[in-house]
């Protein structure tokens, strides 16, 4: 089982978690003691993060199967206490699912960019495909200026690199 710091050191995971629970949530994970389960009140005290924020983070993590709790009933008062544990190892599944979606979008964009030639108006910035440029006789429909072939090699290469990188990450899991 990886430590919380090790898990947070992974950039893709950090970004995913940060989107989910924000700065306070990340701090909670950093300061979350791993020796036993704790109640939300105890966690607020130990980590010095306010109780509402601790609760929000715990519920959000729980919804994403990244935390679980055990409910304990005080026999005298009947009060319920929730004792929390983080299960950040499930992170790898969540991030992988996220990356699959991103990858799919990038692949579609890559295909589109790779299969089309583009024309661009240097005066207004409007960009159209070769087919559309031909239809308008290479005149910009926005401002009547000439459309010039637009080299998208840089973009295609950048997309290709990002796709390769994500594919590599997914393979390592």
**Binding region for Zn ion (CB under 5 A):** 121, 123-124, 126, 140, 142-143, 145
Find the shortest distance in angstroms from Cβ 152 to Zn ion.
18
Residue number with CB closer to Zn ion (114 or 123): 123
Find the shortest distance in angstroms from Cβ 148 to Zn ion.
10
Find the shortest distance in angstroms from Cβ 154 to Zn ion.
21
Find the shortest distance in angstroms from Cβ 117 to Zn ion.
18
Cβ–Cβ under 8 Å, residues 119 and 128: yes
Please give the helix or strand (H or E) that residue 92 lies within, else none: helix 91-115
Let me know the angle formed at the C-alpha of 107 by 20 and 95, rounded to the nearest 5 degrees: 25
Residue number with CB closer to Zn ion (90 or 145): 145
Distances (CA, A) of 32 to 54, 60, 90, 94, 163: 10, 15, 17, 21, 34
Residue number with CB closer to Zn ion (96 or 139): 139
Residues linked to residue 126 through DSSP beta bridges, in sequence order: none
Residue number with CB closer to Zn ion (32 or 119): 119
Cβ–Cβ under 8 Å, residues 20 and 8: no
Distances (CA, A) of 36 to 6, 46, 75: 19, 13, 22
């Amino acid at each position: 089982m990886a430590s919380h710091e090790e898990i947070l050191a992974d950039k893709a995971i950090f970004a995913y978690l940060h989107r989910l629970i924000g700065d306070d949530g990340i701090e909670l994970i950093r300061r979350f003691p791993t020796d036993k389960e704790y109640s939300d009140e105890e966690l607020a005290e130990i980590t010095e993060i306010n109780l509402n924020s601790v609760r929000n983070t715990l519920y959000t993590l729980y919804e994403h199967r990244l935390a679980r709790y055990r409910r304990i009933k005080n026999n005298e008062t009947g009060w319920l206490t929730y004792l929390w544990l983080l299960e950040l190892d499930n992170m790898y599944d969540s991030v992988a699912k996220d990356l699959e979606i991103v990858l799919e979008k990038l692949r579609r964009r890559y295909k589109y960019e790779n299969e089309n030639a583009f024309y661009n108006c240097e005066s207004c910035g409007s960009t159209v495909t070769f087919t559309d440029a031909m239809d308008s006789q290479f005149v910009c429909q926005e401002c009547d200026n000439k459309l010039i072939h637009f080299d998208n090699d840089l973009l295609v290469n950048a997309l290709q690199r990002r796709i390769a990188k994500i594919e590599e990450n997914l393979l390592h899991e």
